[in-house]
Amino acid sequence: MIPQLALHLYKEEEKKKPRHHGHTYAMFEKYDGWYGYRDTNSPICSRQCREIPSLAKFSKELMFTVRGRLIFEILLSDIDDFHTMNGVLNRSKGECEAKTAYLRVHDFIPLGCEEMPFFERYESACKMVYAMNNPRVIMAPKIGVHHRPEVWKNCVDQIWYNGGEGIILKRTDAPYSPGKRTFDLMKIKEEVTLDLVVIDMAIGEGKYADTLGSLIVSDKSGNHHNVSGMSDPERFEWWDCPAKIIGKVVEVKAMKKLKDGTLREPRFKAVRFDKTVQDID
């Protein structure tokens, strides 16, 4: 059974009749790890359906009697850099075990029960993890359950603000669909990173009335973008002293760069003190 695929929310929203409207989704933080799974009495495998040799010993610890597939994100407790983690998990049999690996479980598919709705599968996964009683196997917690896209977006805004990658949305009444990319499983994630120059500022509204609302940035083609995502101290400092930010190069992340050069959901990430205007994208 090949893994189910996640559809980016904006791709569904671009359709004439988005199918996610009115449906309820469970929200989970998206972790920057490896997708993995384990079938009953089989080794831990990767998305490519291959055994992960560096987790061979760990696999033997994961005993469960209910027949099915446990699905999780593989992470390392001492490493949060994906490229470094990638090297550790890619070790061959002759090298060391990935001793700090742990699993964040988010699904369990009982054998022959792909049609079981997600909310039942998640409850089954919770029972499985509890019964396993292994400190290296934990549940991926639900951030919330809601049907309104604005709630999902407010949630991901907070995760981005805290330095996270994004969120995963799982339709609560949906079956598992191997190999398919549908509105049953969606993600909100920033996929574009650009270095842009700050050319101006715009005043805020509501909570940020009378202070910085957004930075106006430009790319090398002259396209302008309004960017938010700054911390409150940054907003107040730069509004009081524009020279501290105007003319500086900043790193901006967005979901997508559109054909007309505009950015979908651009957000400020950091000032790039190591870059000059000649380095912008």
Q: Please report, for the chain, the start and end positions of each structural domain, with discontinuous segments joined by +.
A: 5-189, 192-279
Q: Measure the CA–CA gap between 68 and 20, rounded to whole angstroms.
A: 28
Q: What is the pTM of this model?
A: 0.75
Low-confidence ranges of the chain (pLDDT < 70): 93-95
Q: Measure the CA–CA gap between 32 and 81, rounded to whole angstroms.
A: 8
192-279 has the same fold as 5-189: no
- Cα–Cα distance list, 137 to 23, 51, 125, 160, 200 (Å): 30, 18, 11, 25, 48
By C-alpha distance, which of 130, 192, 142 is closest to 167? 142
* Residue 180, C-beta contacts closer than 8 angstroms, at least 6 positions apart: 4, 5
Quick one: pLDDT at residue 95?
A: 59
Quick one: pLDDT at residue 94?
A: 53
Q: Is 178 helix (H, G, I), strand (E, B) or coil?
A: coil
Query: Using the 8-state DSSP alphabet, how is residue 48 labeled?
Result: T
The number of beta carbons lying within 10 Å of the beta carbon of residue 146 is: 16
CATH superfamily, domain at 5-189: DNA ligase/mRNA capping enzyme (3.30.470.30)
Quick one: pLDDT at residue 149?
A: 94
Instruction: Say which amino acid occupies 85.
Output: M
Q: What is the pLDDT of residues 233-254, one digit of tens each?
A: 999 999 999 999 999 999 998 8
Report whether 262 contacts 221 (CB < 8 A).
Answer: no
Quick one: pLDDT at residue 108?
A: 95
CATH superfamily, domain at 192-279: Nucleic acid-binding proteins (2.40.50.140)
Report whether 110 contacts 118 (CB < 8 A).
Answer: no
